Amino acid sequence: MKGKEIIEEYDSAYFIDIADIFENSEEDLLYAEDYFHPNDRGYELIATRIYNDMDITTIGKDTLEASAKGDDDQE
């Protein structure tokens, strides 16, 4: 089964496609030691994709409020 098909079996799981990040990039996004795992830039692009795909439905209002409160506590 492909990743998206597996995720569809679970109500609380979300699929975010990242394959195109690596397939369409001219940058070297893999760790030089094994050419399998993402390097720092690869992980940065993955994190950006996940962040941009998140919304209030996926992460919940309480999570955003807790995050904002945590930011206020840091000042």
Number of domains within the chain: 1
Burial letters 42-62, b for 16+ CB under 10 A, else e: beebbeeeeeeeeeeeeeeee
pLDDT at 66: 60
**Rounded average pLDDT over 27-42:** 91
pLDDT at 18: 92
With bands split at pLDDT 50, 70 and 90, how would you rate the model's confidence at 32? confident
pLDDT at 64: 57
Whole-model pTM? Answer: 0.64
Domain that holds residue 59: 3-74
Measured CA distances, 5 to 22, 33, 48 (Å) = 21, 31, 23
Distance CA 67, CA 51 (A): 14
